Amino acid sequence: MTDRTPDDLYDALRDRLADYGQEPPAPLWAKIRAQLPPPVAAPQLRRRRRRPIVLLGLLLTVLSAAGWQLWLVSRSGPAVMPAPQTVALGSNAPTNAAVASPASAGPSASPKLGKAALENPGMSGASISETKSSPSTATTDNLRLATQVRPDSAASRRSGPYRPQPAGSVAGPFAGGSQARNPRLAVLSRSARVRYSAGQPSLAVGSTDSSVELPTAAAFSTSGSEQGRLPVDVVVAPSAGGHKAVERSTAPVFGPVAASATDYAPGAPASLLASRPVAVLSPALPQPRVQLRTDTFSTAPAVVRRWTVQVLAGPTLTHQHLGAEPASDPSLPTGIITYLDSIVNEFSRRERMSTGYSAQVQVRRVLTGRWSLSTGLGYQEYASQTTYVASTSTSTPPILSSGVFDMAPPSPHRSTYRFLTVPIRFGYALGQSGGRLRYGLLAGIDAALYLGGNSAGKEAVPTAWSISGSPYRPLSASVSLGLDFRYRLASHLEVLAQPTATYFLNSLPRPLSGLTPHHLFGAGALLGLSYEFR
């Protein structure tokens, strides 16, 4: 309106006609109402909006549960320690631990021992020795007491009621406190499994997978015989002062076991035994094997090691795939609206690939040796370049003139679509895992929340959309497939490169928007860093 000049005739025309009007006919509203879509009830609106969120939450729950199960399965793999086993007899063996007979301990004793092992995963001096004070009197309470022994309390108790007993006593020289002089010998593998040759029923010790096959009370009663001897490699680690307990020893120590040790040193005074370790090897006897669950204690530190936080960002080449048929709204009249639709559809067909970008913050969890799961938050911008626009005027839409579309001179326009994403990625590592460079496959889905953008709507005019009021779906889903390259810079730090392709599963415009259905897709390389917690 810059070229307007005052004119009396035009001013008079405007004064007379600007507010001129006439009453429309009464049936006109009925015709209009018949062409409008039926009103959507508020509950339906809420339900429709909530449905994707509920589905997304359900998907996340299922994926989390599946990942957790995979993790549990990966941790429960058996590992058998090669024989011969080394068992340490701690000073607190007679009292701090107890092994009940199958009849007295029962199944309930097993979890408690397993709990004890978990509670002392890293203690260097803890002695989780298991002994049989009396096969017939050991109770569940004994086991509970035994499992609650702490390293510091174990040392303090050694000096008290568990002093060396006179010769002939079962605990004898080993009860005065012990210290593992040779920790290597004192360490017992988590997968060790004790098995006695007496062929007696086994007793689960530790977790449910643990089993210690013990002789019966009758077998132990013959403490002086070969049958009653400890049929394992035994390291007697008497302590000079009871300073440190045997490291991670889960030795099943029994009364007959102690007796067998004294058999090997029948004349040894208690002081001599207390001053130096005595190793008793009996390779001819059946080797004990203790099989414990991997989650008892030794793998506890590995749980923390599997978590990583990674930050990724990078450019992406994005475009959109137009659907086969334009969306049609049966309630809309043909004619004008179809005419405008055709402009917009032509507008969309002329769009070309452009560059967007993406940034993500993810938490990654290694499920097994090769599988991993990562999720987090991201920001993604899709863009496309338009070679021409129908009309760049924001005040007037284009109209049909002389039966053809009148397009303004070509002018570039960049349509953008911005999303907040929740990426969920499954990774599968390929190749060897020992080197600095690792690589693998990535696949997953993204939940994309439309944040806004700048694109042409129904009026074929570029418009800056916000979250609300846009002709696009607020929530979309996309699938991603890519590669994962990792190069370890330091013990905790890795450089990441993830070439990834993404495709929208659903059409971005709403079904009733009248816009041509189109699916966004893009391919790019995300670069970033990964910090690994240990």
Partner 1 sequence: MPPPIAPVDEALLAACRRGESAAQYQLYQRLAYRLLGVCLRYCPNRAEAEDALQNTFVKIFTRLDQYRGQGPFEAWARRIAVTTALHAVEQHRLRHPTPGTDPDDLAADLPSAEPSALESLAAEDLLALLNTLPPGYRTVLNLYAVEGYSHQEIAELLGIAEGTSKSQLARARRLLESRLATQHYQQLP
Token pair of 365, please?
């969890």
| Binding segment toward partner 1, per CB under 8 A, in 4-12, 114-122, 440-448, 523-531 | 4-12
With binding defined as CB under 8 A, does residue 457 bind partner 1?
yes
Contacting partner 1 (CB under 8 A), which of 37, 107, 241, 511?
Answer: 37
Please pick, from the candidates 6, 21, 161, 168, the single residue that binds partner 1 as defined by CB under 8 A: 21
Element spanning 270, H or E: helix 270-275
Q: Should residue 329 be labelled a site residue for partner 1 when binding is judged by CB under 8 A?
A: yes
Name the token pair of 194.
């004790």
Instruction: Find out whether 370 and 428 touch, Cβ atoms under 8 Å.
Output: yes
DSSP state of 18: T
- Segment lying near partner 1 (by CB under 8 A), choices 35-43, 57-65, 72-80, 491-499: 35-43
Is 26 among the residues that bind partner 1 (CB under 8 A)? no
Residue 41 or 324 having the CB closest to partner 1:
41
Number of H helices, E strands in the chain: 14, 16
CB of 44 to partner 1, least distance (A): 11
Distance, in Å, from the CA atom of 316 to the CA atom of 293, rounded to the nearest integer, reads 46
| Tokens, residue 315 | 């450019």
Query: Can you tell me whether residue 226 is helix, strand or coil?
Result: coil
Q: Which of residues 255-284 bind partner 1 (CB under 8 A)?
A: none
Question: What is the distance between the alpha carbons of residues 476 and 489, in angstroms, rounded to a whole number?
Answer: 37
Choice from 25, 266, 267, 330 touching partner 1 (CB under 8 A): 25
Distance in angstroms (rounded) separating the CA atoms of residues 264 and 244: 25
Q: Give the range of 17-25, 105-113, 157-165, 242-250 binding partner 1 by CB under 8 A.
A: 17-25
Q: Would you count residue 304 as binding partner 1 (CB under 8 A)?
A: no
Which position among 306, 414, 458, 519 is part of the footprint of partner 1 (CB under 8 A)?
458
Q: How far is the CB of 412 from partner 1 (least distance, A)?
A: 18
Nearer to partner 1, 24 or 266 (CB): 24
- Interatomic CA distance for residues 158 and 91, integer angstroms: 6
Instruction: Rule CB under 8 A: say whether 39 interacts with partner 1.
Output: yes
Query: Which parts of 381-400 interact with partner 1 (CB under 8 A)?
Result: 391, 393, 395-400
Q: Which is nearer to partner 1, 39 or 168 (CB)?
A: 39
Question: Is residue 328 a contact point for partner 1 (CB under 8 A)?
Answer: no
CB of 30 to partner 1, least distance (A): 10
- List the structure tokens of 307: 């978590």
Q: Which stretch, 113-121, 148-156, 253-261, 457-465, contacts partner 1 (CB under 8 A)?
A: 457-465
In the bound state with partner 1, the residue whose beta carbon lies nearer, of 354 and 516, is 516
**Shortest distance, CB of residue 411 to partner 1, whole angstroms?**
13
Compute the distance between CA of residue 495 and CA of residue 502 in angstroms, rounded to an integer: 22
Work out whether 2 is an interface residue with partner 1 (CB under 8 A).
yes
Residue 181 class from Cβ within 10 Å (0-12 exposed, 13-18 middle, 19+ buried)? middle
Number of residues counted as binding partner 1 (CB under 8 A): 64
Kindly identify the residues of this chain, within the stretch 42-71, that bind partner 1 according to CB under 8 A. Answer: 42, 45
Residue number, 118 or 475, with CB nearest to partner 1: 475
CB within 8 Å of 480: residues ≥ 6 apart: 423, 425, 442, 443, 444, 445, 446, 500, 501, 502, 503
- Cβ 408 to partner 1, closest distance in Å? 7
Candidate residues 444, 471, 522, 524; the one interacting with partner 1 per rule CB under 8 A: 471
Residue 203 near residue 101 (C-beta atoms within 8 A): yes
Q: Would you state the structure tokens that stand for residue 253, as one six-digit string?
A: 């120590």
Question: Which residues, 6+ apart, have CB-to-CB distance to 29 below 8 Å?
Answer: none
- C-alpha angle 491-496-498 in degrees, rounded to nearest 5: 155
Distance, CA of 90 to CA of 84 (rounded, Å): 19
| 42 versus 284: smaller Cβ distance to partner 1 | 42
Near partner 1 by CB under 8 A: residue from 19, 43, 184, 435: 19
Q: Please count the other Cβ atoms lying within 10 Å of the Cβ belonging to residue 335.
A: 8
The structure tokens 């007793």 sit at: 203
- Minimal distance, residue 111 CB to partner 1, in Å: 58
Least separation in angstroms between residue 29's CB and partner 1 is 6
Task: For residue 143, give every residue at least 6 positions away whose Cβ sits within 8 Å of its Cβ, in sequence order, or none.
Answer: 98, 100, 105, 109, 112, 113
Among 6, 33, 284, 330, binds partner 1 (CB under 8 A): 33
Candidate ranges 15-23, 249-257, 283-291, 308-316; the one touching partner 1 (CB under 8 A): 15-23
Kindly give, in sequence order, each residue whose CB lies less than 8 Å from that of residue 116, ignoring residues fewer than 6 positions away: 128, 146, 147, 148, 149
- Using CB under 8 A as the criterion, which residues of the chain lie in contact with partner 1 when the complex forms? 1-4, 7-14, 16-25, 28-29, 31-33, 35-40, 42, 45, 329, 331-333, 335-337, 339, 391, 393, 395-403, 406, 408, 457-459, 463, 468-471
